[in-house]
Amino acid sequence: MKEECVLLISDVHVGRVTSTYNLDVFQERLENLYYNLLAVKEIINKSYKLPVLNIFFLGDIVDGENLYPSQPYKQEIDADDQMDLAVNRFSEFILDLFGSGRRKRFEKIRIWTVEGNHGRVGRRNSEKTNYDRIFYKRLADRLAFHDKIEINISKNWYNYAEIMDHGYLLFHGDNIYCYMNIPFYGIVQRAMRLRVGGLQENFEVVCMGHFHNIGMLYWNDLRILMNGTFLSDDDYSQKRLGLKPATKFWFFGVSKERPITWSYLIDIAQRG
């Protein structure tokens, strides 16, 4: 059996500081993501190999600057230093996933990206002028020497990935409205409109972030995955949604027959 796998990464907010999150915790949780991902892969490898990893970066990787008046009081470093740290740590994370010698892990890694609202530079700037986008380009430059890494940077507010003949729609999710402070109706409504003609691409799975919570929705034959966050306490989730942030990221398999063959929620707040 031949399969590939997909990892969703979103809402990392490098540079943000809370009572339970800072730069040290970011690096610790990235290590947890690395080890927990490989632990799941080892279990799957007892049945068949997973030679290719696809990573969907879904936005808000860095915390940005000047989004709201009190933001500087909730940050350890500015946007430039946020991107420096993010490029250094994520390039190490990606390269380590290849392994070496007898401990080879993945043979190829493909990356798709979309920007988040925290990457915005200002209301009067081009929407392409986005800290997330700059981070992705710097990451691509850092990894350009490796012929087994492919990076697809979005040219629009969304991105489209095709894996083993299945289509995946990627977007951050910040333009989706909540109803009674619950995002799920808005998510389904937006996904179905895009599915029936809002976009020309034919997709079977929607992958998104933004709400700092996890979910898997089924609507007829469309699947929607909402990804978690690196933040373990967060004013946005608690005040806007009344929910505790979810430090869990989706990791799933893909075959020729199915867009999702298995799925696992990786908890980045702990190892194992």
Sign of CA dihedral 210, 262, 111, 139: positive
Does position 175 have pLDDT exceeding 90, yes or no?
A: no
pTM for the structure as a whole = 0.95
Q: How confident is the model at residue 102 (pLDDT cuts 50, 70, 90)?
A: low
What's the rounded Cα separation, in Å, for the pair 236 and 168?
27
Instruction: Return the percentage of the chain with pLDDT > 90, whole number.
Output: 72
Query: What would the mean pLDDT of 157-171 be, rounded to a whole number?
Result: 97
pLDDT of residue 124: 67
Beta strand pairing call for 205-208 and 166-171: parallel
pLDDT of residue 270: 94
What's the rounded Cα separation, in Å, for the pair 92 and 241?
34
The pLDDT tens digits of the residues spanning 190-218 come to: 999 999 888 999 999 999 999 999 999 99
Planar angle of CA 209, 213, 218, nearest 5 degrees: 75
Beta strand pairing call for 149-152 and 108-113: parallel
- Residue 115 makes CB contacts below 8 A (sequence gap 6+) with 59, 130, 132, 133, 154, 157, 172
Does position 128 have pLDDT exceeding 90, yes or no?
A: no
Mean pLDDT of the chain: 91
The pLDDT tens digits of the residues spanning 135-156 come to: 999 999 999 999 999 999 998 9
- Which residue from 159, 258, 155, 151 is spatially nearest to 199, judged by alpha carbons? 159
Inter-residue contact 113 to 132 (CB < 8 Å) = yes
pLDDT of residue 10: 98
pLDDT of residue 28: 98
Q: How confident is the model at residue 235 (pLDDT cuts 50, 70, 90)?
A: confident
Number of helices and strands in the chain (H, E):
5, 11
Does position 96 have pLDDT exceeding 70, yes or no?
A: yes
pLDDT of residue 220: 87
Instruction: Tally Cβ neighbours within 10 Å of residue 66.
Output: 11
Query: What would the mean pLDDT of 171-194 be, rounded to a whole number?
Result: 87
The pLDDT tens digits of the residues spanning 8-38 come to: 999 999 999 999 999 999 999 999 999 999 9
- Residue 195 makes CB contacts below 8 A (sequence gap 6+) with 203, 222
Give me 125's structure tokens.
Answer: 């700037």
Q: How confident is the model at residue 260 (pLDDT cuts 50, 70, 90)?
A: very high
Give the phi and the psi of residue 30 in degrees, each rounded to 5. -65, -40
